[in-house]
Structure 1
Amino acid sequence: MLASGSCVGRFELVRRVASGLMSEVYEGREAGSGRPVAVKVLRDAFCLDADTIARFLNEARMLERVRDPHIVGLVDCGRLPGGPPFMALEWLPASLHDVLASAGSGLSLHSAARVASQIAHGLLSLHERGIVHRDLKPANVLLDQRDPAVARAKLADLGLAKMPRSSASEAARRGTVAATLLPVSTGGAALLGTWEYMAPEQWLKSKDVEPKADVYALGVLLFQMLTGQLPFVAEDKGALMCLHLFERPPLHLLDHLASQELRDLITRMLSKRPWLRPDMREVLDPLARFL
């Protein structure tokens, strides 16, 4: 843990705001301008792990190349002298995780559609570049204020994002995003993502998922925002996997929604078969009618 007042590049740390398995996030201030930023620093324990460092640097490179109003912006990146890499990101003070925890019973239809639409725009921007986020969840949706009815929502954390092989070779020829990324070794059995939001195919082979896995995760998130609960809950990983693979989601919990169109959209997004799910552009059209 870095002390308050420490400098990371041109940023002075104010306080630690989050601590994850592989990195810590601090609120910081840019020297001179005083602009608030989020400073993400890789933990020392992972500084000798080539794959972890590659993922961290790839996240910064993707954020640098994929500029979108609905994806958290990169301010700077670098490495501490003799220490871990870091990136400075646009500062957003709230997360959807915090908002849902406070709301308890879910959000209004307008608020849920507003947040989902903004995140769908961010995901569409990734998908158009051949990138799959692979870890959509409330903690990775950041807000510029706590009221979701008026907040700007942005997609965060591309640490597990994946460039499909079919896009990577073409990108290398064209000099696009994939050509700037470092190779990462992902074992075929590696389970990448957050269990509660993972599509059936992501449980079976995380490294080969396509954009429709993000559509499923957004369907889970939209269901959660509208009902205040997840569609599938279990006490252990194996049981939760079986629910995502084989059980129908409790769609009756959406009966309070006046719109059959929205219920049908969520049903399609949560389909077990990826080819039956809409693509992200098809998700945006129905959501726009509730904004």
Structure 2
Amino acid sequence: MSSELICETCGLTVPSETAVCPRDGTVVLSSFQPTPPEPKVIVEHPGTEATAITDPLIGLKLGEYELRARIGVGGMGLVYEGIQPLIGKRVAVKVLRPELAHSSEQVARLLAEARAVNAIRHRGIIDIFGFGQLPDGRQYIVMEYLDGQPLDAILAEKGRLPVPEALSLLDEVLAALGAAHGAGVVHRDLKPSNIFLVRQPDGSRYVKLLDFGLAKRGEGPTGRTAQTRTDMVVGTPEYMAPEQARGQSVGPMTDLYAMGVVTFEIVTGRLPFIGSSPVDLLMKHVEARPPRPSEFVPDLPPAVDAFILQMLTKDPETRPNSADPLRQHLSKLRRTLRATRTNPTAPAPVEPAPSKP
């Protein structure tokens, strides 16, 4: 068996004595075996005893918080659980990857994320209340610690959600988005992994929007803003609006398109577009007609089809111009569907798309 290890984040082959991947900062490495629990990994070689590689940040004191475990890996950072030892307060700490420590663009994004969520200040938006720098020069932010599951994990377990549950979840997302849009903030990377269902002590759950690292500040609730670089597309291809894929200006309507894709996925268990490559996927968002959700869930009411498809129109000017009017339409749709369930003999509702304010 080879004495080299494979980075589980980027796939880079690294020497066995290396504890941190030089490309992306991943600390936990394994040979050809499942990843053991954080914060250590057991690496075995023929004829030798197992050795433990420890994350060098575990146990580090950052201000009043001590890092206890690494709990997540993202495109720009590593996320740790931290604790205030005296009072037991738990926090989440996002630390820039080592190779991004000297990237002014990534540092600016981390700071912009902190500023964006503090401009919004809504229960449905992750709270960030600290910003600092590690001894090695990397920046970090301190966030509230959330107990629960991201939506992508829930969909992986259940496939899809019943329509009433899906629309209830969407209502909470739109409430948080309405606050963001009201503060002039466009998220630009809405997807199931950035929608977190927080578990409360009584067993109930509520929604938090995460990761405002790609957020843009506009001129107001319906204002549009140019993307930072027109030669570089940022976002997640599966959920990217046509104008975002083209590198054009973005606005609240851009987030609503992404939520159209997310809602389609929640209700049907699949994405509206599937591509052979990221570029192919972006071209479908730009050019292809989205299928009706009822093509995959035959008993879906036509009004739900119409509601989702209005968010997926190619021209941003034909979508609702912010989350608030869309949430009003959603409230009406939910009332209509409840009335239909109460009176099953009533014809299925078919609601026209709302006119733009």
Mark yes or no: TM-score above 0.5: yes
- Which residue is 1:290 aligned to? 334
Task: Determine whether 1:200 maps to 2:255.
Answer: no
Matched residue SS, 2:334: coil
C-alpha distance in structure 2 between counterparts of 1:108 and 1:51, whole Å: 41
C-alpha distance in structure 1 between counterparts of 2:167 and 2:60, whole Å: 40
- Which residue is 1:97 aligned to? 152
- Which residue is 1:212 aligned to? 253
* Matched letter for residue 130 of structure 1: G
Q: Which has the larger helix fraction?
A: 1
The percent identity for this pair of structures is: 35
8 Å CA contact 2:119, 2:183 repeated in 1 = no
* Matched letter for residue 35 of structure 1: K
Match of residue 13, structure 1, among 64, 67, 74: 67
C-alpha distance in structure 1 between counterparts of 2:61 and 2:334, whole Å: 45
Which aligned runs of 4 or more in structure 1 are off by greater than 6 angstroms? none
Matched residue SS, 1:144: strand
- Which residue is 2:305 aligned to? 263
- Kindly state the Cα deviation for residue 276 of structure 1 after the two structures are TM-superposed: 1.0
CA deviation profile, 1:11-66 (whole Å, cap 9, x unmatched): 22221111123200112222322122211111121111111111111111222232
1:80–1:95 distance in 2 versus 1, CA, 3 Å: same
Q: Which is bigger in relative contact order (C-alpha 8 A, separation at least 6)?
A: 1
Match of residue 275, structure 1, among 308, 314, 317: 317
8 Å CA contact 1:261, 1:286 repeated in 2 = no
C-alpha distance in structure 1 between counterparts of 2:212 and 2:297, whole Å: 30
8 Å CA contact 1:265, 1:283 repeated in 2 = no
Match of residue 279, structure 2, among 238, 243, 256: 238
Match of residue 126, structure 2, among 61, 72, 93: 72
C-alpha distance in structure 1 between counterparts of 2:276 and 2:63, whole Å: 43
Matched residue SS, 2:217: coil
User: Could you tell me the TM-score, scaled by structure 1's length?
Assistant: 0.86
Q: List runs of 5+ in structure 1 lacking aligned partners.
A: 171-177, 179-184
Rg (Cα) greater in structure: 2
User: How much is the aligned-residue C-alpha RMSD, in angstroms?
Assistant: 2.4
Matched residue SS, 1:290: helix
8 Å CA contact 1:75, 1:87 repeated in 2 = yes
- Which residue is 2:161 aligned to? 107
- Which residue is 1:189 aligned to? 231
* Matched letter for residue 20 of structure 1: G
C-alpha distance in structure 1 between counterparts of 2:155 and 2:165, whole Å: 11
* Matched letter for residue 287 of structure 2: F
1:30–1:114 distance in 2 versus 1, CA, 3 Å: farther
CA deviation profile, 1:67-90 (whole Å, cap 9, x unmatched): 101101123222223521111111
- Kindly state the Cα deviation for residue 131 of structure 1 after the two structures are TM-superposed: 1.4
C-alpha distance in structure 2 between counterparts of 1:230 and 1:98, whole Å: 15
C-alpha distance in structure 2 between counterparts of 1:150 and 1:221, whole Å: 22
